[in-house]
Amino acid sequence: MAKAKVRKAAFMISAVAEQYQLHPQTLRMYEREGLLTPSRSEGNTRLYTQEDVERLEVILKLTRELGVNLAGVEIILNMREKMAEMQKQIEHFVESLNTEMSQRGRTAEPEQAQTTLIPIIDVRRGKK
C-alpha cells in the first residue's frame, strides 16, 4: 500500500518577500548562506513552510532589531538547535528517572515515594 503524502502549507518566495518587506534576493542569499532551506516544487519553485517562516522571523529579529550579522545569526541558530536537542534529552532523562523512581517507590514507604519524583524544568523558559 502506498503512503499518502502529507502536505504542509507552503508559501512562494514572492509572498514571503512581500509579507516581510524583503527583496526576494535577500531570501535567496539566506538560502545560499545556509540560514534557510526552503523545499522545492516539481517546477523548482522555492516553497517556504510555516517552520521556514518562523525561522525567517528569528533571523529578521536578530538582524533588524539586534544588529547581528549573518555569521552571528548562523552561530545563534545553531546554538538554539543544540539547546533544543539538549532540552529534549534532559526531558527524556527526567521522564525515565521519574518512571524508575515511581516503580521503586511502589515498594517503599508511601511518604518516601512522593518525594522521589523530580519536576521537569524547561530551561528555555525557566519554568516547571
Rounded (10°) angle between helices 50-60 and 24-32: 90
Q: Where are the domains of the chain?
A: 9-68, 81-128
pLDDT digits (tens, 9 = 90+) for 26-63: 999 999 999 999 999 999 999 999 999 999 999 999 99
Kindly report the CATH number that applies to the domain delimited by 9-68.
Answer: 1.10.1660.10
pLDDT band at 81 (very low <50, low <70, confident <90, very high): very high
| Residue 103: predicted pLDDT | 86
Integer Cα distance of 120 and 128 in angstroms: 6
